[in-house]
Amino acid sequence: MKRMLAIFRRDIYSSTRDFLILYMIIAPILLTVGLKFFIPSAASASLQFALNSKLGAEVIEEFEKYGSVELYSSDEEIKERVGKIDDIAGISINDKGNFRIILEGNESHDTKEIPRKIVRSIVSGEEVDVNYKVSDIGIQMSPIAWIGGISLIITAITMGGILIGLNIIEEKESKTVKALNVSPMSRLEFIMGKSFIGIIIPIIDVFAILWILNMLDVNLYMIAVMTLASSIIGVIVGFLIGVTSPNQIAGIANMKLLFLLVGMSIIGAILIPQSQHFFLYWVPTYWAFMGFKGIILKTITWSQLGIYVIWILGLTCGIFLLLKNRIRKGLA
Amino acid sequence: MLRRYFGLVKKDIITGFRNYFFLAVIFVALVFVGIINFVIPENAEIKPNVYYYLEYEGENSNILGDVLDQSEASHSNIHSVTSRDEIVNIMEENFNSIGMVIKAVDNKPMVEFIMQGYENQEVVNTLILSMKDDLNSRIRGDIEIETLWLTEESYQENIPFNKSVLPIFLAMEPTMLGLVMIAAFIFMEKDEGTIKAYKVSPGKIPEYLASKITLMIILGWISTIISTFLVVGFNADYLNLLIIVTVGSIFASALGLIIASFFDNISQSMVWILAASIIFSVPFISYFVPSFAPLYIRVLPTYPLQFAIREAIFPSGNTQIIYSTILTFTILSIISFILAVFAYRRNLARN
Amino acid sequence: MINVKNLYHSYTNDENYAVEDISFKIEQGEVFGFLGPSGAGKSTTQQILIGLLALQQGEASIGGYDIKKPKEELFNLIGVSFEHPNVYKKLSGLENLEFYKKMFSVETEDSMKLLRMVGLESAANKKAGGYSKGMLQRLVFARSMINNPKIWFLDEPTSGLDPNTASEIKKIIRKKNDEGTTIFLTTHNMYIADELCDRIAFINEGKIELIDSPRNLKLKYGEKLVKIEYKENEKIKKESLSMINDEDKKKLNKLINEGKIETMHSQEATLEEIFIKVTGRGLK
């Protein structure tokens, strides 16, 4: 234990010396603050209309029900605005006093169709007598908020792993691993000592991220369990990067592949229909994503969480056992 | 000068090759091609899925039924189910979905829209409007509205969903590759001390940095060509695509150099470089939701980049965006390269 | 060829100088030795001259070029052999030289010939990452000759080499010097300085203590040095005493008078002993 703490202290020391730990903790937090500013504008995202102010207050008001309205005094200005990259529909009137829609041509279906529907609703009356009612299933949190939050949590967890990896590469490069190998310290102690850092950074960051995003009303015990389980992924990956990379440059190349995998599992979990999620079952971060999603959206039970944790632990242990010899050789 | 530059480039290519950079880039491109071609479904939608249940059987039921059937036939994201409970269950599983139940209340059809809860009022209004319009059009027929097309009408949406992801990959991987990778190169040479040997030769800093950036461009080209060819074959404007990737790559690499110059080792700089790449990925949201483009997204250079790349891969006749993006990035590249040279003059003098 | 006047350098940008008021002149074809212990300011001076450190205060020119604004021509003129080997580990020895060759716009040497000269011919196509320390040292040495430098900066060129290789390296240095190369040699090894240098500067705590030829130094200090062993408090003590220093002379007289001397030899001083005499400290 004493020796493990010594390893841990060395890592802390060598990382604080150049503010690395501070950066690693702060970077996800800064990004979270950015996300917090981003969420409201993303949540209010809607269609955009460029209206000729000649259309009059009533029409303008009608369009404002469906999206954000920008006013222009001439069709030329509208055309210039419509020509920009983003999707916006121009609406004006022609010489005969009829509505005219101005489009670039490559807009999405809604930007093309909705203004026509609005215009039709203005120029003609109701034909079918139908009542409308709106209800919801009670999910107030926008997907941007929880997807962004979870992505940052997983980023923070991966950062812990990266730090371990870089520390090991540094020890390998300075040949201090060799000195430790001839000391009475066992390899397990070395591994445990190195792992502390990869667990502490995620815990600090995860709670900070949830706090900034006002998400602390979730089951915090569940968060703690999930964070611990997920940070083991980071730790194992950190070791893999550390032992398989002969130098920092190779470490970075390996990290690129790692980020690809992590990003893939998150994007996949969002985009791929549930029925095809088995494609992603082998990626441990997929289960981390699903776990955090369940906790933050409060749809998960302890037993489900347990299954996710078993998946994570099973997969990471599997990877570890598969590469045990590689790690042993890499540290020798 | 050119002799030195080519000497440096040759050396950087050999070093990059022996550090498996080429292999890593090819591998990543192939993985992405695999994901695009085999994992992401062709007809996936960013737009929410709509699940409806038609319970109403009164006088207008045939109109309602026709409208819904037609919508279901023409939009892949509209599905019919058999009870309200089923709708709610599906919606709890899939955050990107809404429901619709039509039943009789006081002998009149009543359309209930079931939302997730986070949607804003504009979205709800638009849904009601669409439904009303579809029903009214069925009765009174279509009313044509005069439409002025600035270019020609085209549907980028006809691009299969999986292939439409390619521009995002190209904007992030080949183009922004240098942002992450170039720092690794610089710090390796710093550790080896070879930069000192270079400094006492007649070689100059701009040549040194230009060579590193050249390697990043070459890696970017390889990644671009492999992934684009395997996804869309010959049907892309390769020349413009490679020009966009080139200028984008210069900008990203020079930016990576500037960030790296502030730090003593790769670990420190990597945190900020990764943060920068996360920020550069924010505009990808606007790619999928094109009417969402607040100022802080539009000012990020990856915003026009992704649309320019899309235009080069799936031409829609809007070449304007390609040229304006190339111009923007050329200017950005020149500025960032000059800044990078200054940053390294300062950095190397300090050490 | 090298002209240095009142050179100062502070790493902390204050009055805390690493080198202070350094002035010297090196003539064409001369081998000039910079001799001093670690941390004396040898490397700092050399790094300023070759442009790795900024010139803060003072003047310096190499081959007529002001080093304040180092030009391409200046770097074509000089060769630098670094103390700590700095080569591309992923490139072979030959590739390292071939690459470096292209950086120069003057006539360059054949890479293979240089590798042969330093005994790396058989390892030419092996990656430098797999070289031993001594091999790397020789590769760096070979690299510094690639542009046929007119002025050659050598930093501890033989440290870490076995005696055979070291003597080969010394032979090369002498040969180059015979061909007219001016050499600036930094070392804390007095033997190599003694063997190779026409003139030597003793540098200590950032200042040049003296500049002279090894021969003059020995004439001045050496012949008049006496090595004695004497008994004091029942213990044998060894000491070298100068015959020109009054205090030493007094001490010798006293020891002779007291009859404590066991052995006594007159001998030529080594540069190290002279260094100790002059600076009051050793070369280590």
Considering only CB atoms, which chain C residues are within 8 Å of B203? 75, 103
The predicted structure's pLDDT at residue C152: 93
Q: Which strands, in side-by-side order, build the sheet including C57-62?
A: C19-26, C2-9, C57-62, C65-66
Using a CB–CB cutoff of 8 Å, tell me whether B298 touches chain C: no
- The dihedral over CA atoms of A178, A180, A181, A183, expressed in degrees to the nearest 10, equals 130
pLDDT, tens digit, for every residue of A172-220? 777 666 666 666 666 667 667 777 777 888 888 999 999 998 888 889 9
Q: Which of B341-345, C93-97, C233-237 is the least confident region?
A: C233-237
Q: Do B11 and C105 touch (CB under 8 A)?
A: no
pLDDT, tens digit, for every residue of B246-267? 999 999 999 999 998 988 877 7
Q: If DSSP codes are grouped into helix, strand and coil, which group holds residue C282?
A: coil
What count of other Cβ atoms lies within 10 Å of the Cβ of residue B149?
A: 12
Q: Do B201 and C84 touch (CB under 8 A)?
A: no
- The dihedral over CA atoms of C131, A166, B248, B325, expressed in degrees to the nearest 10, equals 180
Using a CB–CB cutoff of 8 Å, tell me whether A34 touches chain B: yes
Would you give the DSSP letter of residue C269? P
Strands B49-54 and B97-105: parallel
Q: Do B316 and A106 touch (CB under 8 A)?
A: yes
From the list A137, A271, A273, which residue is nearest B116 (CB)? A137
- With a cut of 80, say whether residue C221 has pLDDT above it: no
Considering only CB atoms, which chain C residues are within 8 Å of B7? 99, 101-103
Interchain CB contacts (distance < 8 Å): B and C:
75
What count of other Cβ atoms lies within 10 Å of the Cβ of residue B139?
A: 11
CB contacts under 8 A, A 268-287 vs B, are 268, 271-274, 276, 279
Q: Which of A180-189, A246-255, C134-143 is the least confident region?
A: A180-189
Residue C40 backbone dihedrals phi, psi, to 5 degrees: -80, -20
Q: Do B19 and C95 touch (CB under 8 A)?
A: no
pLDDT, tens digit, for every residue of B21-35? 898 889 889 988 988
Q: Do A139 and B129 touch (CB under 8 A)?
A: no
The predicted structure's pLDDT at residue A223: 92
**Best-predicted range by mean pLDDT among A26-40, A306-320, B82-96, B98-112?**
A306-320
Task: Give the CA distances from residue A96 to residues A92, A124, B146, in Å, rounded to whole numbers and listed in that order.
Answer: 11, 17, 11
Nearest chain A residue to B307, by CA: A85
Considering only CB atoms, which chain B residues are within 8 Å of A139? 95, 116-118
Q: Which of B35-49, B127-141, C72-86 is the least confident region?
A: B35-49
Q: Do A173 and B191 touch (CB under 8 A)?
A: yes
Residue A40 backbone dihedrals phi, psi, to 5 degrees: -60, -40
The predicted structure's pLDDT at residue B267: 74
Considering only CB atoms, which chain B residues are within 8 Å of C88? 11, 15, 189, 192, 194
Per the prediction, chain C carries an average pLDDT of 86
CB contacts under 8 A, A 136-175 vs B, are 136-144, 155, 159, 162-163, 166, 170, 173
User: What is the average pLDDT across A88-95?
Assistant: 87
Q: Do B132 and A121 touch (CB under 8 A)?
A: yes
Residue C281: both structure tokens together: 């400290």
**Of B277, B178, B274, B258, residue with least CA distance to A27:** B274
The predicted structure's pLDDT at residue A186: 65
The predicted structure's pLDDT at residue B227: 94
A120, B133 contact by CB (below 8 A): yes
- With a cut of 80, say whether residue A42 has pLDDT above it: no
- With a cut of 80, say whether residue B76 has pLDDT above it: no
User: What is the average pLDDT across A301-328?
Assistant: 87
Instruction: Report how far apart the first and last C-alpha atoms of chain A are (Å, whole number).
Output: 21
pLDDT, tens digit, for every residue of A136-175? 888 888 888 888 899 889 888 888 888 788 778 877 777 6
Q: Do A18 and B41 touch (CB under 8 A)?
A: no
Chains that touch C (3 or more CB pairs under 8 A): B
Using a CB–CB cutoff of 8 Å, tell me whether A122 touches chain B: no
Q: What is the sign of the dihedral through the CA atoms of B219, B221, B224 and B230? A: negative
Using a CB–CB cutoff of 8 Å, tell me whether B75 touches chain C: no
Distance (Å) from the alpha carbon of A236 to chain B's nearest alpha carbon:
18
Q: Do B188 and A247 touch (CB under 8 A)?
A: yes
pTM: 0.80
Residue at A291: amino acid letter: G
C107, C155 contact by CB (below 8 A): no
The predicted structure's pLDDT at residue A13: 67
Considering only CB atoms, which chain B residues are within 8 Å of C80? 197, 200
Distance (Å) from the alpha carbon of C91 to chain B's nearest alpha carbon:
7
Band the pLDDT of A253: cuts 50, 70, 90. Answer: confident
Chains that touch B (3 or more CB pairs under 8 A): A, C
Band the pLDDT of A121: cuts 50, 70, 90. Answer: confident
Band the pLDDT of A233: cuts 50, 70, 90. Answer: confident
Nearest chain A residue to B46, by CA: A271
**Of A68, A101, A107, residue with least CA distance to A85:** A107
In whole angstroms, what is the distance from residue A92 CA to residue A100 CA? 5
- With a cut of 70, say whether residue B8 has pLDDT above it: yes
- With a cut of 60, say whether residue B157 has pLDDT above it: no
The question of ipTM being above 0.85 is answered as no
Residue B187: both structure tokens together: 């710090």
C86, C104, C107, C136: best to mutate for the B interface, most B CBs within 10 A:
C86
Every domain of chain C and the residues it spans: 1-82+146-161+174-213, 89-143, 224-267
Using a CB–CB cutoff of 8 Å, tell me whether A332 touches chain B: no
Q: Do C86 and B192 touch (CB under 8 A)?
A: yes
Q: Do A136 and B116 touch (CB under 8 A)?
A: yes
- With a cut of 90, say whether residue B218 has pLDDT above it: yes
Distance (Å) from the alpha carbon of B172 to chain C's nearest alpha carbon:
28
From the list A30, A67, A99, which residue is nearest B122 (CB)? A67
Q: Candidates 3.90.226.10, 3.30.470.20, 3.90.1150.10, 3.40.50.300; correct CATH number of C1-82+146-161+174-213?
A: 3.40.50.300
Strands B78-80 and A131-136: unpaired
The predicted structure's pLDDT at residue B350: 62
- With a cut of 90, say whether residue C112 has pLDDT above it: yes
Q: What is the sign of the dihedral through the CA atoms of A29, A31, A32 and A34? A: positive
- Specify the DSSP element, H or E, that contains C230: strand C225-232
Residue A110 backbone dihedrals phi, psi, to 5 degrees: -65, -45
Distance (Å) from the alpha carbon of B272 to chain C's nearest alpha carbon:
27
- With a cut of 90, say whether residue B315 has pLDDT above it: no
Instruction: Report how far apart the first and last C-alpha atoms of chain C are (Å, whole number).
Output: 30
Strands C199-204 and C207-212: antiparallel
Query: The tokens 């993303």 sit on which residue?
Result: A42
Nearest chain B residue to C55, by CA: B349
From the list A46, A130, A249, which residue is nearest B120 (CB)? A46
- With a cut of 80, say whether residue B336 has pLDDT above it: yes
Q: Which of A36-40, B14-18, C45-49, C218-222 is the least confident region?
A: C218-222
> Half-sphere exposure of A213 toward its Cβ, with a 13 Å CA cutoff?
31
B58, B107 contact by CB (below 8 A): yes
- With a cut of 70, say whether residue A14 has pLDDT above it: no
The 3-state secondary structure of C39-69 reads CCCHHHHHHHHCCCCCCCEEEEEECCEECCC
